[in-house]
């Protein structure tokens, strides 16, 4: 086996893996780029937190992003047992991204959650080929379960790679030997996982201090060097460990590149969109227009809007609805109205108004704000100008979104 010229760090944790890392994603990416790596994965514990911004940062730096997670497996959802075995999943394509995200949603449901979000063995075995599966660390079911467990070989055969790691620990060395034998038995490739948690020795010290302060321990911390390694350092770690033959760990390291190359890059549509509430933008608009006029009549009949303001309100509402239709904003306004009304119905305090939304008569009529724009002569065009071309920030009492107003109907979206 020829010596690899580089490798891919695919088993990686950042400060999104709570209480388990002090390193930011951007620091890892910058280091990977500086070392000539062509891909990098994010595999946070339990959930792929921050994956959109991570993907966008990789795109900006010219390195392939691998969308992944270190998920937890349980043999049975009921009765609840804290087995919570580890497995790394990496999306192979855009369909895999969607499947992985749906799986995380499923794992977080009440019937699945026990100390953390989990999926069952059966659900793991139903994961499609759109997701690459590796056996992860010492907490893997392939390490925790005995060879004669009735589902051991079934699980092993569903993995695409068996993950060996180079930590100078007897438990890890023994597990590597076990995986090496298993790989030959079931004809599965090995892959070299780093289980990286730290950018550097300094970051490792920060992580240790954080864990001590939080009374957290994973056991045998001194035996596991979880800091980022260059290719030479990674190879030397396997050599020092001495658990499997040189050709086996060199091939496992090269398989990190093979795996990364098999992943199809995908793009994120970063244009501004708006979630559709009732099946289509047209239906959202129909519901919102009906809601606006109904709530206007209610406020008028209740004396909340004085009769002498009726004509001004009617004219303003007609104009605002025209503009909202033109730029595709009805769904946004509908969602804000429903949100604020829900808060009021559930006893939550709501501010009078925030920012330029105080200029919208429709916002007042639909309870998005409690400030009467007609009384205070505030200006709608500051809130929503149909001819403005640049990205604009729109504020309701509690929500900030980015909006691109072009003069043509567009989809719009919230930015959390």
Give the closest residue to 67 by CA, choosing from 22, 33, 98.
Answer: 98
Query: 120-134, pLDDT tens digit by residue?
Result: 999 999 999 999 999
Range in 44-53, 205-214, 330-339 with the lowest mean pLDDT = 205-214
SS3 label, residue 120: strand
What mean pLDDT comes out for the span 229-237?
Answer: 97
pLDDT for 181 equals: 98
pLDDT band (50, 70, 90) for residue 211: confident
pLDDT for 389 equals: 54
Position 412 pLDDT exceeds 50: no
What mean pLDDT comes out for the span 386-397?
Answer: 53
pLDDT band (50, 70, 90) for residue 378: very high
pLDDT for 187 equals: 98
Gyration radius of the chain over CA positions: 27
Q: What DSSP character marks residue 11?
A: S
What mean pLDDT comes out for the span 309-333?
Answer: 96
Two tokens at 225?
A: 């060097």
- Cα distance between residue 31 and residue 49, in whole Å: 21
Q: Among the residues of 18-146, which ranges form H helices? A: 25-34, 51-61, 94-107, 121-125, 141-144
Contact yes or no for 94/105 (Cβ under 8 A): no
SS3 label, residue 340: helix
Query: 338-364, pLDDT tens digit by residue?
Result: 999 999 999 999 889 989 999 999 999
Could you identify the residue written with the tokens 């009549």? 297
| Long-range contact pairs involving 376-385 (C-beta distance under 8 Å, separation at least 24) | 380/316, 380/319, 380/320, 380/323, 382/356, 383/355, 383/356, 383/357, 383/358, 383/359, 384/320, 384/323, 384/324, 384/327, 384/329, 384/360
Half-sphere CA count of 196, side-chain side, radius 13 A: 31
- Count of C-beta atoms within a 10 Å radius of residue 220: 13
Find all residues with CB under 8 Å of 298, minimum gap 6, and list them.
Answer: none
Contact yes or no for 272/412 (Cβ under 8 A): yes
> Any bridge partners for residue 289, and if so which?
none
Q: String of b and e for 159-174 (b: at least 16 CB within 10 Å)?
A: bbbbbbbbbebeebbe
What domains does the chain contain, in order, with CATH numbers? Answer: 25-262 (3.20.20.140), 281-414 (no CATH)
- Cα distance between residue 330 and residue 246, in whole Å: 63
Two tokens at 98?
A: 């969607």
Contact yes or no for 169/224 (Cβ under 8 A): yes
Position 413 pLDDT exceeds 60: no
- Cα distance between residue 272 and residue 32, in whole Å: 30
What mean pLDDT comes out for the span 62-90?
Answer: 97
SS3 label, residue 335: helix
Does this model's pTM top 0.85? My answer is no
pLDDT for 409 equals: 35
SS3 label, residue 337: helix
Could you identify the residue written with the tokens 């139903």? 126
Percent of the chain with pLDDT over 90: 81
SS3 label, residue 283: helix
Distance (Å) of CA 385 to CA 22, 193, 331, 336:
44, 53, 17, 19
């Amino acid at each position: 086996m020829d010596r690899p010229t580089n490798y891919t760090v695919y088993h990686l944790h950042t400060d999104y893996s709570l209480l388990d890392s002090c390193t930011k994603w951007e620091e890892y990416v910058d280091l990977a780029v500086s070392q000539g790596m062509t891909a990098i994965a994010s595999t946070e514990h339990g959930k792929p937190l921050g994956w959109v911004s991570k993907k966008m940062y990789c795109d900006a730096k010219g390195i392939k992003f691998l969308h992944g997670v270190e998920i937890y497996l349980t043999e049975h959802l009921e009765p609840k047992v804290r087995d919570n075995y580890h497995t790394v999943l990496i999306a192979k394509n855009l369909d895999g991204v969607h499947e992985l995200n749906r799986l995380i949603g499923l794992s977080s449901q009440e019937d699945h959650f026990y100390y953390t979000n989990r999926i069952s063995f059966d659900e793991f075995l139903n994961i499609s080929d759109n997701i690459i599966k590796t056996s992860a660390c010492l907490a893997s079911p392939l390490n925790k379960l005995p060879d004669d467990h009735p589902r051991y070989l079934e699980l092993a055969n569903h993995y695409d790679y068996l993950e060996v790691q180079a930590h100078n620990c007897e438990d890890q060395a023994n597990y590597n030997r076990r995986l090496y034998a298993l790989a030959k038995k079931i004809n599965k490739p090995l892959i070299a996982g780093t289980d990286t948690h730290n950018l550097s020795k300094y970051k490792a010290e920060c992580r240790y201090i954080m864990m001590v302060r939080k009374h957290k321990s994973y056991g045998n911390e001194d035996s596991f060097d979880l800091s980022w390694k260059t290719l030479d350092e990674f190879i030397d770690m396997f050599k020092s460990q001495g658990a499997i033959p040189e050709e086996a760990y060199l091939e496992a390291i090269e398989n990190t590149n093979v795996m990364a190359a098999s992943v199809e890059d995908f793009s994120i549509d970063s244009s501004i969109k708006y979630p559709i509430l009732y099946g289509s933008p047209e239906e959202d608009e129909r519901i919102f227009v009906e809601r606006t006029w109904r709530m206007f009549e209610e406020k008028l009949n209740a004396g909340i809007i004085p009769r002498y303001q009726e004509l001004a309100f009617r004219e303003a509402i007609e104009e605002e609805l025209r503009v909202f239709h033109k730029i595709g904003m009805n769904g946004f306004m509908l969602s804000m109205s429903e949100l604020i009304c829900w808060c009021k119905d559930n006893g939550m305090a709501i501010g009078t108004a925030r920012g330029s939304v105080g200029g919208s008569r429709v916002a007042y009529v639909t309870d998005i704000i409690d400030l009467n724009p007609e009384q205070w002569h505030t200006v709608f065009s500051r809130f929503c100008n149909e001819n403005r071309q640049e990205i604009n920030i729109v504020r309701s009492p509690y929500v900030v979104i980015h909006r691109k107003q072009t003069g043509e109907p567009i989809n719009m979206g919230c930015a959390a």
